[in-house]
Amino acid sequence: MRIRDNKGFTLIELLIVVAIIGIIAAIAVPGLLSARRSGNEASAIGSLRAISSSQQAFASTCANGFYATALPQLAVPPSVGSAPFISPDLGAAATVAKSGYNVTLARATPNAAGTIAACNATAGADLTSSWFATGVPITAGSTGTRFFWIGTLGTIYADVAAIAATDGMSATPGGNPIQ
């Protein structure tokens, strides 16, 4: 009598394992995408806080109370110091794509440019008395679900729709304050 030696898996066993893996993936993927969106939103909030801190340092040390009008101005180190006011990743361009968000700094008060000589090469040419910065998802709903805005006063606002700029800071921009 010959005993059959079956080594391996049957097709049914393999299909059951594949189905279990598919069910686990279907449960886990939405949670992972949600965690990624939350991480992107936390990064955008952190970027806006860094911009606010950099603007305050810039105004108090370099610009006699005025502020920079674009992120690259904050990336230039002061002539009598060693470090720029903002990290190189945020000061690389006027609009920076970072962690699924476009981060931008802009002048809030029209026609209020300062003309003082400041302590870094770009500051004296273009200054403002108020500013705002935005964090806009690169792909709304995918890279982030909320839009962020911060102004001269340092309060961050969030909304599920784009937040309009408020020239002159005469009104709140909309959304809800998160800070």
Position 112 pLDDT exceeds 70? no
Average pLDDT on 120-127 reads 64
* Gap between the Cα atoms of 74 and 65, Å rounded: 14
The HSE-up count of residue 78 (CA atoms within 13 Å, CB side) is 16
Residue 123 above 80 pLDDT? Answer: no
Q: For residues 160 and 80, which has the higher predicted lDDT (pLDDT)?
A: 160
Q: What is the pLDDT of residues 60-69, one digit of tens each?
A: 888 788 888 8
Q: Domain residue spans in the chain?
A: 11-177
Rounded average pLDDT over 128-150: 91
Q: Tell me what pLDDT residue 108 has.
A: 81
pTM exceeding 0.85: no
* Average pLDDT of the chain, as a whole number: 84
User: Residue 59 — pLDDT band, cuts 50, 70, 90?
Assistant: confident
Q: Looking at the domain that runs over 11-177, which CATH code has it been given? A: 3.30.700
The proportion of the chain whose per-residue pLDDT surpasses 90, expressed as a percent, equals 47
One-character DSSP codes across 15-51: HHHHHHHHHHHHHHHHHHHHHHHHHHHHHHHHHHHHH
114 pLDDT tier (thresholds 50, 70, 90):
low
Q: How far is CA 37 from the centre of its chain?
A: 12
